[in-house]
Structures are given as structure tokens and as C-alpha cells.
């Protein structure tokens, strides 16, 4: 089937929800519209003038980028600067640009998990928690014949998901409901002034806190009663933690220098920087954070990492890391290029699952601004 940008984005945002993004991160639609049909998607790490040219040459109509192209506000829309001219070119050629940044970094099986897998760590956990999704339990009393419809409405509104692999979870218990409608009531069952007693079921579902109002609205819209009886309570045992970076154990522990060489090969970089007091120290536990993760290094230490891999490490932070006994490997920010292959794979899977009539490709350009002598 032919699709619009919205089809792709809806599927993507179920995988990497926008609420996971860091505050102020300009993710999402950057140029164009999601409502036009698309036939060719190009995945890229960066949207640079040369990437836009590549898209035009390949008749791409949708660019899916990791780094938002308008990260800082533009001062003008003059086409006399190459950086701005690229926006003119995008608009002239009707190319939509959408960016998934920290929501892709943070989501489960996203950027940071791809990087962790690439360097060979297992039993990974989150390095820096950014968000904890807490849940409520909703219990609603409903006549048995209406229970299925109400359950359906609750789960369609987002209730009843436990973990990533179980949806439409609910529990039902049968009991006796009692009520007396008083003057002014318009009861679905029973008469004003008479006590009613009937069989009802209690349907229970979990609801993420952020969806509770939507789910209650769905309940009220579907429930047959004038005044549906329901309870909402806080549950303590269920929450989903999300965050940046991953920490885990090396499948094959090795001396630091050897591991640094491995990282260099895995990410295919021509050189990398490292910080260590002991090149021969055995590396067993590794933290990794895509992008510029120097500011989170204390979390790598707290999680007992022997080595922290991240990009853009700043000189004085490097001194602090060394003084704190943390070994660091900085292979640059460009290792996030891994997202091109991974997103292309993901979109190709969705294409065959959903029978999308669309072509998917990755930018063939290297957008690393640095070269090394």
C-alpha cells in the first residue's frame, strides 16, 4: 500500500515515543508535511547540504535524520548561506525532514542498545536514568454483557500493557453491585427510589500515569451507566525506567589497549582518543553513551564501569575522568552513524510487515566534520 509520512512516523513513535525525548530537544517534523504520500525514504545521521543534494539526486521525498537539522533557532531564511540554502532546496523539492534524537537514544532497543551490542557487552542496564514511567490501576464495575466493550475501549486508549510484549492485559472478577437511584437520576437499570442489586464484573487494568485521563474518558464514553463506578489507585510495583547510555559486561574481557583497538575497528574510525592510567588494565565492565556524554561520566563510575565510551570529551572533563580513575575511549560523535544501518533494517521490516509501497535507503555520505592526519 502507498503510505504518507504519517504512517512511518506513527509506527516509529510507537517504537521510540516522543515523551522519552529530553526537554527542549527539537525532535519531530522539521521541514514539510507528514500528510503527503512518500515513495522514497532516506535515513541519515546528519542533514547537511551535501546530504540534501544526495536526496535530490536520488528522488528522495522523506529524510529521516537522527540529529535535528534546526537544533538552534535560525536567524534568517536567506539562501545566501549554504546551511540555509539547503532548507530552500528541501522546500523546492518537496522533501520532508523528520528527526528522532534523544527519544531514539533513550528508547529500548534504540541507539544506545545498538552501540552497546556493537562493542560486545551483555546484561546491559541503563546508565543515566532520565525518566520513570509509573502506573495506576483502574478498576471499573460493569454489567457482564458490557464488559467486553468496556475492556476493548480501555485497551484501545492505552491501558493494559505490561512490559513490551504483553498488551490487552486485564483481570475480571464477578460480584454483586448495589445502588439506589434518587430523584433526578436517569438510571440505565432500575427505578428511582428503589434499591437495585445485580451481578456486575470488576474489570482491572494498568494504565501509565500520563494516559489516565484519556483512559477514563474512554471508560465514561463506553460504559452504559449514567454514573459509572470506578476506582483509580497508585501501584508501587510496576514502572518502566528509561535513560541514556548503557552499562554491561564484556562478553570477552580484555586488556584496555586491546579493547580500544576493538572499538576503533567496530566503528571503523581512523583514530580515537583515550584516557587511562593503565593501558593493560583488564576491562570487564563497559559503559557507552552515544553523542556527547562527558557530562554523565559520574553515572558510568557509579555503575562500576572500567571503561566509558563516549564522544566529544572535553579537555578538562578528561582531567577529571583521569583523576577519578575512569578509563575513557572517545571514538567521536560520528559512531552514531550506526543508526543508518539499524533504522534501514527496522524500516525494511516494517515495510514487509505492513506491505508498504516505499523504497528505503541510507545516505552513503560520511558527515563526520573531522579528519585526522
Residues engaged in binding Zn ion (CB under 5 A): 291, 336
- With cell 559520574, the residue in question is 298
Q: Shortest gap between Cβ of 333 and Zn ion (angstroms)?
A: 6
Residue whose CB is less far from Zn ion, 299 or 337: 337
What is the C-alpha separation between 219 and 216, in angstroms, rounded?
A: 5
What phi, psi does 30 have (nearest 5°)? -110, -35
Widest pairwise Cα distance in the chain: 90
What is the C-alpha separation between 62 and 64, in angstroms, rounded?
A: 6
What is the β-pairing status of strands 37-38 and 3-4? antiparallel
- With cell 547537511, the residue in question is 48
Q: Shortest gap between Cβ of 328 and Zn ion (angstroms)?
A: 17
Q: Shortest gap between Cβ of 64 and Zn ion (angstroms)?
A: 15
Q: What is the DSSP string of 153-203?
A: HHHHTT---BTTTB-S--EEEEEEEEE---TT---SSS-TTS-EEEEEEEE
Residue whose CB is less far from Zn ion, 161 or 363: 363
- Whether the CA torsion 191, 194, 197, 203 is positive or negative: it is positive
Please answer whether residues 328 and 315 qualify as being in contact, where contact means their C-beta atoms are separated by less than 8 angstroms. no
Which position's Cβ is nearest Zn ion? 291
Residue whose CB is less far from Zn ion, 67 or 351: 67
Q: Shortest gap between Cβ of 41 and Zn ion (angstroms)?
A: 20
Q: Shortest gap between Cβ of 289 and Zn ion (angstroms)?
A: 10
| CB atoms closer than 10 angstroms to residue 271 | 11
What is the C-alpha separation between 8 and 31, in angstroms, rounded?
A: 15
Q: Shortest gap between Cβ of 280 and Zn ion (angstroms)?
A: 32
Q: Shortest gap between Cβ of 101 and Zn ion (angstroms)?
A: 7
Residue whose CB is less far from Zn ion, 5 or 291: 291
Residue whose CB is less far from Zn ion, 112 or 276: 112
Residue whose CB is less far from Zn ion, 48 or 351: 48
Residue whose CB is less far from Zn ion, 100 or 142: 100
Amino acid at each position: 500500500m502507498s503510505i504518507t509520512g504519517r504512517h512511518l512516523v506513527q509506527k516509529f513513535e510507537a517504537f521510540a515515543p516522543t515523551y522519552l525525548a529530553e526537554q527542549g530537544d527539537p525532535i519531530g517534523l522539521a521541514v514539510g508535511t507528514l500528510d503527503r504520500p512518500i515513495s522514497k525514504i532516506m535515513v541519515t545521521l546528519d542533514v547537511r547540504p551535501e546530504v540534501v543534494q544526495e536526496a535530490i539526486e536520488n528522488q528522495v521525498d522523506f529524510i529521516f535524520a537522527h540529529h535535528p537539522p534546526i537544533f538552534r533557532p535560525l536567524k534568517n531564511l536567506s539562501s545566501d548561506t549554504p546551511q540555509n540554502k539547503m532548507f530552500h532546496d528541501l522546500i523546492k523539492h518537496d522533501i520532508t525532514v523528520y528527526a528522532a534524537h534523544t527519544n531514539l537514544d533513550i528508547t529500548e532497543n534504540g541507539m544506545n542498545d545498538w552501540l552497546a551490542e556493537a562493542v560486545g557487552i551483555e546484561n546491559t542496564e541503563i546508565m543515566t536514568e532520565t525518566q520513570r514511567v509509573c502506573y495506576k490501576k483502574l478498576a471499573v464495575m460493569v454489567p457482564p454483557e458490557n464488559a467486553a466493550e468496556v475492556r476493548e475501549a480501555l485497551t484501545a486508549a492505552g491501558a493494559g500493557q505490561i512490559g513490551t510484549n504483553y498488551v490487552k492485559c486485564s483481570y475480571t472478577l464477578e460480584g454483586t453491585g448495589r445502588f439506589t437511584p434518587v430523584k433526578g437520576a436517569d438510571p440505565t437499570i432500575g427505578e428511582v427510589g428503589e434499591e437495585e442489586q445485580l451481578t456486575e464484573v470488576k474489570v482491572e487494568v494498568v494504565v501509565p500515569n500520563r494516559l489516565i485521563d484519556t483512559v477514563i474518558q474512554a471508560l465514561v464514553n463506553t460504559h452504559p451507566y449514567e454514573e459509572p463506578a470506578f476506582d483509580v489507585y497508585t501501584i508501587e510495583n510496576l514502572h518502566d525506567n528509561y535513560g541514556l547510555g548503557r552499562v554491561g559486561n564484556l562478553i570477552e574481557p580484555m586488556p584496555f589497549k586491546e579493547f580500544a583497538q576493538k572499538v576503533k575497528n567496530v566503528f571503523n574510525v581512523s583514530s580515537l582518543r583515550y584516557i587511562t592510567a593503565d593501558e593493560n588494565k583488564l576491562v570487564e565492565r563497559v559503559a557507552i553513551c552515544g553523542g556527547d556524554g562527558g557530562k554523565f561520566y559520574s553515572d558510568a563510575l557509579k555503575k562500576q564501569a572500567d571503561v566509558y565510551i563516549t564522544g566529544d570529551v572535553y579537555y578538562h572533563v578528561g582531567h577529571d575522568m583521569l583523576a577519578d580513575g575512569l578509563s575513557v575511549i572517545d571514538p567521536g560523535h560520528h559512531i552514531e552513524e550506526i543508526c543508518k544501518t539499524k533504522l534501514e533494517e527496522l524500516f525494511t521490516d516494517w515495510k514487509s510487515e505492513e506491505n508498504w509501497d516505499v523504497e528505503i535507503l541510507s545516505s552513503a555520505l560520511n558527515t563526520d566534520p573531522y579528519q585526522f592526519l
